[in-house]
């Protein structure tokens, strides 16, 4: 059986040598590509990606569209909407005979995933950018696949605020998500440590907020510093390119702009956004440390107008048909400055809200309504539940399952991303060689056992679980190689959970998954992914002498 990841619902292939006269394989020697109506996107992807790896030109067949004409096999692409009724949205079928390969999708996304499965079947060499062995024979086992996803939201959150990832790196991660049949990239674009998206009416957000003078080296308990200034941002054209590139691969990009906490970079750029009656905000720089920062937005109408301007430009960059959701953060907002601020206390009285917690809710509810008026849906971390939400808002449940359960039972859609299960910045093993180890130990098997739908949910509430995402916070991931190490291979396990796994974690065949990973590591090698090897970090992947947390004898700092 081919080593497919994520594992399909149904797959059956002949073993090479089982048939008579080679009836068990399809030999693809510069095949033809017959692209039916509406399949142009997948056809372009196949010509570009498989063409680069194999040297195939994949020309269209003659007008009669015969299979195997002139001795050449044919790959045919077909949209078959009725599959959506029987298998579901984003589903597909793949059929291989001796002379042709048929890819059928319920919709364009399903057809694209059929092409991803075809690439896996061709072997790791199909993931290279040029033929590694010119003239090699490409063979597929005869058989078929019927497949479709369990969840509609299969995502990864990438924090580009703490450590900036250049545009090319983001595009690379879009391809890596697509290769694993994941379909959401949540970009954490702003935080205390950096503002990463160009807003033309507020240029200082990137001119000032996009750069910090230095960075803590390791966890915030570490005494070490990297004294090199760090920064960067995406121009609006960069964002348009990322969004369009992702859409071609059926990945939705969800932007996150944090309010009212995690805002020191914005306040450093525009000091009037902060609580000026209790803090000399003009002296603030972009934060160089990690953790929860006390500098939060002032609860004023002027601050609301400022961020409405930010969101107006953001909505133009992320069209509704591509990204209906906008993430507003809403988490970890300390209240000390509001308690000390006469302006904030007067605001509490004017609004009639329940203290400082009511002010945070007021921020979120304002943008909930503002986005809804423009046809968008607000999503935020589970703290946004405090104070109530409009019916269309959704929740990212990170503090365990509790917030997701409460939101789903109240009728809100939920994306499950509990820290204890799917925070990929957390250590992968308990050994001392793990680089800058933080948080819980969450092994490859632990991620494979993750279940997005809590058993306590009623059936009606469970229908509000849109899916799940793995979160990648980059405080201790200073470059692409470190991100790769933390993300892979665990993202492959996560992809199988949200695409194909049984609801009961105890029924999942981890040994079978681990065996299939043997072939998948070779695909990751071909893609140049600097993953954590099964035997532990390689010498250059370690960070000796750099503190993580918890240190020995301490509980996780959560």
- pLDDT tens readout for residues 129-152: 999 888 889 999 999 999 999 999
Q: Tell me: the pLDDT tens digits for 285-341?
A: 999 999 999 999 999 999 999 999 999 999 999 999 988 999 999 999 999 999 999
Q: What is the largest CA-CA distance in the chain?
A: 86
> What pLDDT was estimated at residue 22?
52
Q: Taking a C-beta distance cutoff of 8 angstroms, is the pair 249, 182 a contact? A: no
CATH topology of domain 153-507+528-541: TIM Barrel (3.20.20)
How far is residue 205's CA from residue 200's CA, in Å, rounded to a whole number? 9
The answer to whether residue 21 scores a pLDDT higher than 70 is: no
Out of 3.30.450.20, 3.90.190.20, 3.30.379.10, 3.40.47.10, the CATH code matching 10-147 is 3.30.379.10
Task: Indicate whether 363 pLDDT > 80.
Answer: yes
Please, what is the average pLDDT of the chain?
A: 94
Residue 446 bears catalytic tag: no
pLDDT at 134 (0 to 100): 84
Q: What is the pLDDT of residue 365?
A: 94
pLDDT tens for 251-295 read 999 999 999 999 999 999 999 999 999 999 999 999 999 999 999
- Reading phi first (left if > 0) and then psi (alpha if -120 to 50, else beta), residue 135 is in left
Q: Residue for token digits 């809403």?
A: 330
Structure-block tokens of residue 18: 């089982």
Could you tell me what percent of the chain has a pLDDT over 90?
87
Catalytic annotation on 312?
no
Q: Which of 445, 437, 426, 436 is nearest to 534 (CA)?
A: 445
**Residue 227: predicted pLDDT:** 98
d(CA 550, CA 430): 11
DSSP assignment string, 174-225: HHHHHHTT--EEEEE-EETTEE-B--TT-THHHHTTTEES-EESSSTT---E
Tell me, what's the pLDDT at 456?
Answer: 84
**pLDDT, tens digit, 9 for 90 and up, residues 386-424:** 877 877 899 999 999 999 999 999 999 999 999 999 999
Cα(475)–Cα(486) distance, rounded to whole angstroms?
A: 12
pLDDT of residue 503: 83
Q: Which residues pair with 255 in a beta bridge?
A: 187
Higher pLDDT, 555 or 447: 447
Q: Report the C-alpha gap between 472 and 494 in whole angstroms.
A: 13
pLDDT at 556 over 80: no
The predicted pLDDT at position 550 comes to 72
Q: In 198-351, where does DSSP find H-type helix?
A: 204-207, 236-248, 264-269, 301-317, 336-340, 342-351
- Residues 6 or more apart whose Cβ sits within 8 Å of residue 101: 26, 28, 31, 73, 74, 75, 76, 94, 95, 118, 140
pLDDT in tens, 429-444: 988 899 999 998 999 9
CA distance 106 to 56: 27
Active-site position among 163, 188, 262, 412: 262
Q: Is 371 exposed, middle or buried (0-12, 13-18, 19+ CB in 10 A)?
A: buried
Decide if 493 contacts 521 (C-beta within 8 A).
no
Rounded to whole angstroms, the Cα distance separating 502 from 510 reads 12
Residue 1: the pLDDT is 63
Domains in the chain: boundaries: 10-147, 153-507+528-541
CB 277 within 8 A of CB 338: no
CA 65 to CA 42: how far, in whole Å?
19
Phi, psi torsion values for 462, nearest 5 degrees: -60, -30
Helix, strand, coil % in the chain, rounded to nearest 5 = 35, 20, 45
Taking CA atoms, 224 is separated from 217, 221, 288, 426, 526, in Å, by 5, 9, 12, 20, 35
pLDDT for residue 506: 86
pLDDT confidence of residue 17: 58
d(CA 202, CA 309): 9
Question: Where does residue 106 rank: exposed (0-12), middle (13-18), buried (19+ CB within 10 A)?
Answer: buried
**Could you give the CA distance from residue 552 to residue 154 in angstroms, rounded to a whole number?**
35
CA distances to 127, 134, 438, 516 from 467, in Å: 28, 42, 26, 24
Q: Is 159 a catalytic residue?
A: no
Cβ burial, residue 129 (10 Å; 0-12/13-18/19+):
exposed
Q: What pTM does this model have?
A: 0.96
Supply the pLDDT for residue 2. Answer: 81
Q: Are 83 and 104 in contact (CB under 8 A)?
A: yes
Q: According to the model, what pLDDT value does residue 172 have?
A: 98
pLDDT band at 504 (very low <50, low <70, confident <90, very high): confident
**Distance in angstroms (rounded) separating the CA atoms of residues 382 and 415:** 10
Quick one: pLDDT at residue 27? 94
Mean pLDDT value across residues 207-225: 95
Residue 333 and residue 23: Cα distance in Å, rounded?
A: 64
Which residue is catalytic, options 125, 241, 332, 386? 332
- Rounded CA-CA distance 530/435 in Å is 13
Confidence of residue 558 (pLDDT cuts 50, 70, 90): very low
pLDDT score, position 549: 80
557 pLDDT tier (thresholds 50, 70, 90): very low
143 to 110, 191, 483: CA distances (angstroms): 19, 50, 37
Question: pLDDT tens digits, residue range 38-95?
Answer: 999 999 999 999 999 999 999 999 854 455 456 789 999 999 999 999 999 999 999 9
Q: Out of 90, 191, 382, 425, which one is annotated catalytic? A: 191
Handedness of CA 280, 282, 288, 291 (dihedral sign): positive
Give the tens place of pLDDT for each residue, 166-210: 999 999 999 999 999 999 999 999 999 999 999 999 999 999 999
Q: In the predicted model, what is the mean pLDDT of residues 456-469? A: 95
- pLDDT of 12 higher than 70: yes
DSSP state of 75: E
| Mean of pLDDT values over 493-512 | 92
pLDDT in tens, 465-474: 999 999 999 9
């Amino acid at each position: 059986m081919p080593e497919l990841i994520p594992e399909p619902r149904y797959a059956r292939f002949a073993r090479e040598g089982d048939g008579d006269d080679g009836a068990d394989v399809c030999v693809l020697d510069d095949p033809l590509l017959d692209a039916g109506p509406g399949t142009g996107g997948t056809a372009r992807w196949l010509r570009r990606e498989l063409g680069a790896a194999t040297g195939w030109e994949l020309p269209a067949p003659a007008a009669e569209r015969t299979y195997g004409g002139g001795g050449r096999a044919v790959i045919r692409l077909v949209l078959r909407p009725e599959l959506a009724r029987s298998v579901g949205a984003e589903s597909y079928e793949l059929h291989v005979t001796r002379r042709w390969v048929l890819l059928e999708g319920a919709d364009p996304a399903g057809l694209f995933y059929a092409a991803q499965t075809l690439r896996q079947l061709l072997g790791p060499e199909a993931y290279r950018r040029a033929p590694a062995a010119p003239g090699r024979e490409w063979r597929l086992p005869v058989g078929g696949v019927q497949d479709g996803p369990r969840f509609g939201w299969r995502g990864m959150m990438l924090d580009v605020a703490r450590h900036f990832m250049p545009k090319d790196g983001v595009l690379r991660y879009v391809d890596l998500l697509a290769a694993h049949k994941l379909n959401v990239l949540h970009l954490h674009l702003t935080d205390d440590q950096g503002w990463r998206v160009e807003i033309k009416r507020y240029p200082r957000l990137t001119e000032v907020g996009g750069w910090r003078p230095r960075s803590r080296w390791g966890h915030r308990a570490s005494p070490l510093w990297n004294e090199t200034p760090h920064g960067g941002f995406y121009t609006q054209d960069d964002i348009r390119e990322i969004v369009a590139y992702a859409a071609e691969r059926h990945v939705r990009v969800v932007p996150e702009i944090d309010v009212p906490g995690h805002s020191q970079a914005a306040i450093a750029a525009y000091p009037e956004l902060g609580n000026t009656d209790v803090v000399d905000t003009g002296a603030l720089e972009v934060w160089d440390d990690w953790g929860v920062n006390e500098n939060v937005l002032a609860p004023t109408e002027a601050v609301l107008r400022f961020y409405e301007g930010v969101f107006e430009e953001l909505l133009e960059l992320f069209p509704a048909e591509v990204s209906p959701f906008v993430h507003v953060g809403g988490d970890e907002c300390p209240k000390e400055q509001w308690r000390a601020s006469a302006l904030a206390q007067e605001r509490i009285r004017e609004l009639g809200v329940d203290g400082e917690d009511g002010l945070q809710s007021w921020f979120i509810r304002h943008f909930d309504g503002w986005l809804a008026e423009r046809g968008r849906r607000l999503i935020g971390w589970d703290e946004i539940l405090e104070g109530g939400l409009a019916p269309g808002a959704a929740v990212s449940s990170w503090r365990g399952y509790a917030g997701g359960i409460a939101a789903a039972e109240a009728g809100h859609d939920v994306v499950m991303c509990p820290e204890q299960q799917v925070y990929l910045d957390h250590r992968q093993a308990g050994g001392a060689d793990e680089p800058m180890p933080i948080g819980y130990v969450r092994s490859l098997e632990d991620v494979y056992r993750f279940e997005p739908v809590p058993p306590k949910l009623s059936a009606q509430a469970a229908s509000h679980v849109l899916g799940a995402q793995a979160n990648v916070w980059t405080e201790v991931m200073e470059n692409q190689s470190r991100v790769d190490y933390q993300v892979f291979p665990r993202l492959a396990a996560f992809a199988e959970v949200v695409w194909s796994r049984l609801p009961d974690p105890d029924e999942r065949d981890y040994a079978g998954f681990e065996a299939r990973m043997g072939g998948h590591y070779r695909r990751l090698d071909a893609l140049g992914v600097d993953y954590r090897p099964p035997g532990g970090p390689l010498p250059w992947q370690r960070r000796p002498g750099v503190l993580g947390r918890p240190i020995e004898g301490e509980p996780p700092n959560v």
